A and B are shown apart, each in its own frame.
Chain A
Amino acid sequence: MINDKNSQKIVDIIRNYARKHSLWILAYGTGCGAIELPPTMTSRYDAERLGVRGAATPRQADLLLITGYLTTKSLKRVIRVYEQMQDPKYVIGFGSCTINGGMYWDSYNTIKALDRYLPVDVYINGCMPRPEAVLSGFAKLQELIQDGKANGAKEYKENLKWYRDNQKKVITNWKMPEYNW
């Protein structure tokens, strides 16, 4: 009964509703964009209204927040953190640097386009995006989740080889546990 299409759809709707209203973010705050999170979370904008809330460890988090540029060094950590998160999991690229390198477009040790290495569900534009933008980004992600379109994790699993190749291009000393879910 649970396996037949419609009931599965209903279940999905309920699940997605819950998921979208409880986003536990793991902010990877090495970039300068991290400074935008405190106002987003605190009393001025209060992202907790939307059920957004900080998570302590990757095991508990749903949403990985890459705030700004990523150095090649820190990319490894990001990938590791992402792979430790449990499905379903979402990534938000935060600021121009994650989209095209931004002001670091010609830096030798930052990665330019985040989505060559991780499946990004939502990009938030701006250098740097204001809290409003961040909130809208969250809202967008919630829409996607509700529509079941935010399945970057599945995509990552399917094209794992492609991602791995890109990652290994950047990361010289590759040493990671196998990723098999």
Chain B
Amino acid sequence: MNMIFILFAVLLGGALLTFFSNKVSGLLRDIFFLLTVLAAGVFFYLFIKKGDTVSFSLAGLNLQWGLNAFGWYFSLIVLGLSTLAAFYALAYMRGKERLGYFYFNFLVSILSMLGILMSRDLVSFFVFWEIMTWSSYFIVIYNGKNVQRNGINYIIFSTIGAYAMLTAIVLVYTNTDSLIISDMITSYPQFTPVLQIFVPILFLMAFSVKAAMMPLHVWAPDAYSNSPMAYSSVFSGALSKMGIYGMIIVFVTMISYLPDSTWFKEIFAWLGAITAIMGTLWAVSQDDARKLLAYSSIAQLGYIITGVAIGTELAMLSALFLAVLHGLFKGALFMAVGAIERQTGTVNFTEVTGLIRKMPWTFIASLLAIIALAGIPPLGGFVGKWMLYESLINSNHYILVIAIFFASTAAFLYCYKFLFGFFLGQEEKEWEHVKEAPALMVVPMMILAIGTVVLGTFPGIILKPADIAMQSLGYAPTEGHLWSMSVLFNEWGDQVLLKPLVYAIAGIFLFFLILLTVKGWKTMRYVTTKDISSSGEVPLEDENLTFSINFFQPFMRAAGPVMKKRMITYYREFGKAIDILFDFTRRIYNGNGQTYAIYVMIFLVILLLLKNNLFG
């Protein structure tokens, strides 16, 4: 019995146990759930070595599972984030209904992600991919809020992608009578030119749906924002990375063997950049925190896609680094939103303000996560952004780097909006009662946030496995000439020594903070946010002067022209057109016996007329 089978057996069995123990008792269910996640993690890292594979045959198909360094790198994201999210979920989901359902799908989606990372053949890849789709779909519709729209959008797009992939798989299978991915890669250069173009495109369709790339992203905002926050962190942090995982494989192993792959890469890099820009702009215009984070996830994935598409060593390194980092900070942010949702009952910036003193830990976590998201030193986000820019500049993508830069500068707007909307602003009587979220929710997000801080100074921790993963894809080792534990180089040899910079920043900050604190300590007073200089007027207790409606209206006016029409409206119109067609076909069956008899006759007549063309 191979270890990999056992791992999957553990996960599946745990899922079923969790599901059925729900009937018995809530405590038992939680214990089973947690045990399963932990067991999977421990089992994975203890017993499954890189490079061990297992082959077996099912329904006459030769399938193969195994783990390589690349999958192992992504398993870091999956298992790390899911474990924390599992702890978080225990507190977040307490008192909600259908918990067995939720936990079951949670575990199954973890299983499917690990399966994707460990499947060495196309069929099981597809199988796990579909399992991931439906398990996440069942969680997306968990809340039951306008299920038909969000859920169906998500499932339709995922399935279109999946079927594109299925077509590609079938094509590959027919051309190389093998389903093993490595065989496909080796025989790719011998494909016919048409196939050489279409197979990657079909694969990339599937992956870019999951990676929420323009123009296939329209499912993402609703899906991310409607699933419970405990899962959204996994959903946007880890599950979307499966798309990136596939993309990287396709780009490295197929696209680069195309006769002229540059245009292909350019197109995808630009799609990524456009995704980043539009995602950012839409995120800025949101008032619902979940939607804001959803759009920002789209934007972040856009950066990663660009990095993948460029595909130089530095770009790939930055893409891998950003993938982990996005998992960290977006996980933390979704968790923070979940905490606020749980404590206040709303996630709307225009409703809840001034929580900083009520929920300090949540604030700190989301502050760190936001700084990482904005890519500001000394936190981890800067490292990823820096490598991305340098790779773009070094590989002569000058306009692209401007586009990316525009996106990440505009990201400051929604970053500030997030922090201001929830934590800053006037402190209201309405939210006096709000308490800090339970430790089970705070600790995971704090861990994630601290992770971003550590990576800001010592990116080598993640860059090392990333480097190994890239070597397993056939890149040259990059340690030393592109990065070391806390130093970054670009391909021109310019460097950023993170450690002294971070120390300097900390030193200066502390010095002036101490100066500000010590000077006039006795006569320094805290005054409430109601005691503000508003032209002599005293705001009443119940009137909230916080400015939070149409927060970035002027900027939105400036950026208006590009945001006139949303992508989804085009899809809607297409859908309407198709619906008319359906309605027309429905009318063929008009429920009238005579008509049906006439149909029979017509059929017969047609056959008789065409008998020489049809048969012979």
Q: List residues of chain A with CB under 8 Å of any chain B CB.
A: 57-59, 74, 76-78, 80-81, 84, 87, 175-177, 180-181
Closest partner residue, chain B, to A76 (CB atom): B536
Tell me whether B533 and A84 are in contact (CB under 8 A): yes
Tell me whether B538 and A177 are in contact (CB under 8 A): yes
- In the bound assembly, the distance between CA atoms of A175 and B528 in angstroms comes to 15
Set A77, A87, A176, A181: member contacting B535, Cβ < 8 A: A77
Give chain A residues whose Cβ lies under 8 Å from the Cβ of B613: none
- In the bound assembly, the distance between CA atoms of A177 and B531 in angstroms comes to 7
Give chain B residues whose Cβ lies under 8 Å from the Cβ of A180: 525
Which 9 interchain pairs have the tightest Cβ spacing?
Answer: A77-B536, A57-B533, A80-B536, A81-B536, A58-B533, A177-B531, A84-B533, A59-B533, A175-B538
Closest partner residue, chain A, to B530 (CB atom): A177
Q: List residues of chain B with CB under 8 Å of any chain A CB.
A: 523, 525, 527-528, 530-531, 533, 535-538
Give chain B residues whose Cβ lies under 8 Å from the Cβ of A175: 538
For this complex, 27 residue pairs linking A to B, each with C-beta atoms less than 8 Å apart, are A57-B533, A58-B533, A59-B533, A74-B536, A76-B536, A77-B535, A77-B536, A77-B537, A78-B536, A80-B536, A80-B537, A80-B538, A81-B533, A81-B536, A84-B531, A84-B533, A87-B523, A175-B538, A176-B538, A177-B527, A177-B528, A177-B530, A177-B531, A177-B538, A180-B525, A181-B523, A181-B525
- In the bound assembly, the distance between CA atoms of A78 and B535 in angstroms comes to 9
- In the bound assembly, the distance between CA atoms of A77 and B527 in angstroms comes to 18
- In the bound assembly, the distance between CA atoms of A87 and B524 in angstroms comes to 11
Give chain B residues whose Cβ lies under 8 Å from the Cβ of A57: 533
Closest partner residue, chain A, to B527 (CB atom): A177
- In the bound assembly, the distance between CA atoms of A175 and B538 in angstroms comes to 8
Known: A175-B538, A176-B538. 16 other contacts (CB 8 A): A57-B533, A74-B536, A76-B536, A77-B536, A78-B536, A80-B536, A80-B537, A80-B538, A81-B536, A84-B531, A84-B533, A87-B523, A177-B528, A177-B531, A180-B525, A181-B525
Give chain B residues whose Cβ lies under 8 Å from the Cβ of A84: 531, 533
Give chain B residues whose Cβ lies under 8 Å from the Cβ of A77: 535-537
With both chains docked as a complex, state the minimum distance between the C-beta of A162 and any C-beta of chain B, in angstroms.
22
- In the bound assembly, the distance between CA atoms of A176 and B527 in angstroms comes to 13
Q: Is the interface of A mostly helix, strand, loop or mixed?
A: loop
Give chain B residues whose Cβ lies under 8 Å from the Cβ of A87: 523
With both chains docked as a complex, state the minimum distance between the C-beta of A75 and any C-beta of chain B, in angstroms.
10
- In the bound assembly, the distance between CA atoms of A175 and B542 in angstroms comes to 14
- In the bound assembly, the distance between CA atoms of A76 and B527 in angstroms comes to 19
Closest partner residue, chain B, to A180 (CB atom): B525
Closest partner residue, chain B, to A56 (CB atom): B533
- In the bound assembly, the distance between CA atoms of A12 and B531 in angstroms comes to 31
Closest partner residue, chain A, to B523 (CB atom): A181
B527, B528, B536, B538, most chain A CB atoms within 10 A: B536
Give chain A residues whose Cβ lies under 8 Å from the Cβ of B535: 77
- In the bound assembly, the distance between CA atoms of A58 and B533 in angstroms comes to 7
With both chains docked as a complex, state the minimum distance between the C-beta of B518 and any C-beta of chain A, in angstroms.
14
- In the bound assembly, the distance between CA atoms of A34 and B267 in angstroms comes to 64
- In the bound assembly, the distance between CA atoms of A82 and B535 in angstroms comes to 11
With both chains docked as a complex, state the minimum distance between the C-beta of A108 and any C-beta of chain B, in angstroms.
22
Give chain A residues whose Cβ lies under 8 Å from the Cβ of B525: 180-181
Give chain A residues whose Cβ lies under 8 Å from the Cβ of B531: 84, 177
- In the bound assembly, the distance between CA atoms of A58 and B531 in angstroms comes to 12
Give chain A residues whose Cβ lies under 8 Å from the Cβ of B528: 177
- In the bound assembly, the distance between CA atoms of A175 and B527 in angstroms comes to 16
- In the bound assembly, the distance between CA atoms of A36 and B533 in angstroms comes to 25
Closest partner residue, chain B, to A84 (CB atom): B533
Closest partner residue, chain B, to A26 (CB atom): B533
- In the bound assembly, the distance between CA atoms of A40 and B527 in angstroms comes to 35
With both chains docked as a complex, state the minimum distance between the C-beta of A141 and any C-beta of chain B, in angstroms.
22
B527, B528, B533, B538, most chain A CB atoms within 10 A: B533
- In the bound assembly, the distance between CA atoms of A123 and B535 in angstroms comes to 24
Closest partner residue, chain A, to B528 (CB atom): A177
Give chain A residues whose Cβ lies under 8 Å from the Cβ of B536: 74, 76-78, 80-81
Give chain B residues whose Cβ lies under 8 Å from the Cβ of A80: 536-538
With both chains docked as a complex, state the minimum distance between the C-beta of A87 and any C-beta of chain B, in angstroms.
8
- In the bound assembly, the distance between CA atoms of A81 and B533 in angstroms comes to 7
- In the bound assembly, the distance between CA atoms of A176 and B536 in angstroms comes to 11
Closest partner residue, chain A, to B535 (CB atom): A77
- In the bound assembly, the distance between CA atoms of A58 and B536 in angstroms comes to 9
Give chain A residues whose Cβ lies under 8 Å from the Cβ of B530: 177
- In the bound assembly, the distance between CA atoms of A23 and B21 in angstroms comes to 75
- In the bound assembly, the distance between CA atoms of A120 and B591 in angstroms comes to 96
With both chains docked as a complex, state the minimum distance between the C-beta of B543 and any C-beta of chain A, in angstroms.
13
